[in-house]
Amino acid sequence: MAEELVYVPREALRQLFFTQLVNSGLPEKFSEKTADLMIFADERGIHSHGAVRAEYYSNRIKAKGYNLQPTLHFEQTGPCSGIYHGDNAIGHYVAYKAMEEAIAMAKHKGIAVVGVKEMGHSGAIGYYARQAALEGMVALTVCQSDPMVVPFGGAKPYFGTNPIAFATPKREGKPILFDMATTVQAWGKILDARSKGKMIPDTWAVDDQGEPTTNPHAVAALLPAAGPKGYGLMMMIDILAGSLLGLPFGQHVTSMYKDLSEYRRLGQLHIVINPAFFGDADRFLAQISQMVDELHAIPPSKGFDQVYYPGEIQEMMIEKYRESGIPVAKEIYDYLTQ
């Protein structure tokens, strides 16, 4: 039976996240940014990375699976490169601070490549790419996740759901934000289905026998998006966000759920490009807006109402939820308000 939903106004839900994190022992500045990331996801309908993660973060904080007194520092390693040392703090704050460094560098140097070294899970990574786009930059960010995906043709998991996000400003309105797990679906979508009592399509995941399953509770591993293509992409992301930074890779990445007291040591890589260093920035922005207009003008195919640009539907969800409140499984709402 489908689980009951509670519709919560954005600010109230954000406050519940913040309070839960602080009460679990996470210092306020980390709790602020983590709550921002969680509401960023939920208000866009990316329910895999919002309320559904609250209890997990709380349990990991209590288990000291994050460094709660980290020494964070940025090391410039070349004219356009650097490493942000996260000291296993909660990833949301670390990845955000690293992107701040990357934006500042790209504004002056034209491009910045900043590795983020040793942090906890950093949530919906589109947040960081969008952070740069809001400053007029084009950005790409990739990160590691724990091994829960069968490689193409394999029966055991090896890579994580290693996501990639790409954002660009346009001349007017919201940035374009493409943000995806390299699996058919993110692991959080399985959690979301579990919490809401829903079945999943048989193309998302396999059970412990390596067979496709529609039962979210039977999922043992996820499937790569588009077979060998998603698999290839997740491997390259692991190389950029992990091996390049000398971090554990593939099946050696620490599990998210097994030992909550163990530091994750995850890596992420931000690449930020200042369009002004590659031609006329105004013309660039105008061209992106023209591209969007032309895509919107393409007649929809059967079953579709229109062509959307990446991230557009998520932006529309913000408006929708402003009216209705954000849907949260009652079980999670009760947990947050107990």
Question: Which tokens belong to 42?
Answer: 């939920």
Are 2 and 198 a contacting pair, CB within 8 Å? yes
Q: What is the largest CA-CA distance in the chain?
A: 57
Nearest to ligand NAI of 48, 274 (CB atom): 48
What's the CA gap between 312 and 308, in Å, rounded? 6
Nearest to ligand NAI of 1, 258 (CB atom): 258
Nearest to ligand NAI of 149, 328 (CB atom): 149
Least Cβ distance, residue 45 to ligand NAI (angstroms):
8
Nearest to ligand NAI of 80, 89 (CB atom): 89
- Which position among 121, 252, 270, 296 bears the catalytic label? 121
At residue 78, what are phi and psi to the nearest 5 degrees? -170, 180
Least Cβ distance, residue 230 to ligand NAI (angstroms):
10
Least Cβ distance, residue 127 to ligand NAI (angstroms):
8
Nearest to ligand NAI of 165, 326 (CB atom): 165
The angle formed by the CA atoms of residues 41, 115 and 82, to the nearest 5 degrees, is 130
Nearest to ligand NAI of 14, 49 (CB atom): 49
Half-sphere exposure of 97 (CA within 13 A, CB side): 24
Q: Tell the burial category of 53 from Cβ atoms under 10 Å away from its Cβ (0-12, 13-18, 19+).
A: buried
Cα end-to-end span (Å), the chain? 24
**Which residues of the chain form contacts with ligand NAI (CB under 6 A)?**
46, 48-49, 121-126, 143, 145, 161, 163, 165, 178-181, 185-186, 189, 308, 310-311, 313-314
Give the other-Cβ count within 10 Å of 248's Cβ.
18
What's the CA gap between 279 and 302, in Å, rounded? 39
The string over 96-106, giving b where at least 16 C-beta atoms fall within 10 Å of a residue's C-beta and e elsewhere, is bbbbbbbbebb
- Is 121 annotated as catalytic? yes
Least Cβ distance, residue 256 to ligand NAI (angstroms):
8
Q: Which residue is nearest to ligand NAI (CB)?
A: 124
What's the CA gap between 230 and 268, in Å, rounded? 18
Least Cβ distance, residue 297 to ligand NAI (angstroms):
15
What's the CA gap between 102 and 96, in Å, rounded? 10
Least Cβ distance, residue 310 to ligand NAI (angstroms):
4
Q: List the catalytic residues.
A: 121
